[in-house]
Amino acid sequence: MFKFSVLVPYLPLLESAVWVTLKFTFFSTFLGFIGGFFLALITISRNRILAPLARFYISVFRGTPLLVQLMLIYFATPQITGYTISALEAGVLSFGLNSAAYISEALRGGILSVDKGQWEAALSLGVPKHRFILDVILPQAIKNTFPALINESIALLKDSSLVSVIGVADTLRWADLIQAKTFRAFEAFIVAAAVYYVLVMILTFIGAYFEKKVRISD
């Protein structure tokens, strides 16, 4: 009934596809964190121009489907700019921008949870604001929002399967191509599902390990 042996010749391609999935998730998460950090700082600032713009950005990216954002960036970028963006670049950019909107809200809560007395002490001591934010506020904000950041990374890993629709050779794309060649849909997609599950469990374990370390350090 099931013939998983037909997938054996395609396992080297699966290894490459998994690597693409991991690379995509890493760069998207990194871009999302950097963007989310700056968005969080802007939204809690008193800047009358940038703060509303940041809130509007967050509202747009959280209020529209990720797949629409992906399609818009991939197909509209050449039309608007003349630059032919690759499928992987479009995926990383769209997922990173989308993730930044969610991460910013988590980091904003983490930053606001820092005792205001630390801000006042830093100001009274004349500590440069950028050094205080990077050396004092950011580590505490990450510690306070660590579970949310791990959950966002896991969500990015699972949602990365969406990039297969624009031709990125990720894990789901591998399964789609293999089932088209072998006509063994169950075997191909169940293996892809198993790969995603294993990756998610590994990321969950790593997150739980570091979260425990953070709690011990407290």
Which residue segments constitute the domains of the chain, with CATH numbers given?
4-217 (1.10.3720.10)
Q: Per-residue pLDDT for 108 more than 80?
A: yes
**pLDDT (tens digit, 9 = 90+) per residue, 151-202?**
999 999 999 999 999 999 899 999 999 999 999 999 999 999 999 999 999 9
**pLDDT (tens digit, 9 = 90+) per residue, 37-46?**
999 999 988 8
Q: What rounded mean pLDDT belongs to the chain?
A: 90
Q: Can you tell me whether residue 83 is helix, strand or coil?
A: coil
Q: Per-residue pLDDT for 128 more than 70?
A: yes
**pLDDT (tens digit, 9 = 90+) per residue, 136-154?**
788 888 888 888 888 999 9
Contact 171, 192 (CB under 8 A): yes
Residue 64 has φ and ψ, to the nearest 5°, of: -125, 150
Identify which of 35, 37, 173, 32 has the alpha carbon closest to the alpha carbon of residue 92. Answer: 32
Q: Per-residue pLDDT for 113 more than 90?
A: no
Share of the chain above pLDDT 70, in %: 98
86-113: average pLDDT:
92
pLDDT of residue 216: 63
pLDDT of residue 32: 95
User: Tokens 């991939």 sit at which residue?
Assistant: 74
pLDDT of residue 19: 95
State if pTM tops 0.85.
yes
CA distance 62 to 90: 18
User: Tokens 């660590």 sit at which residue?
Assistant: 146
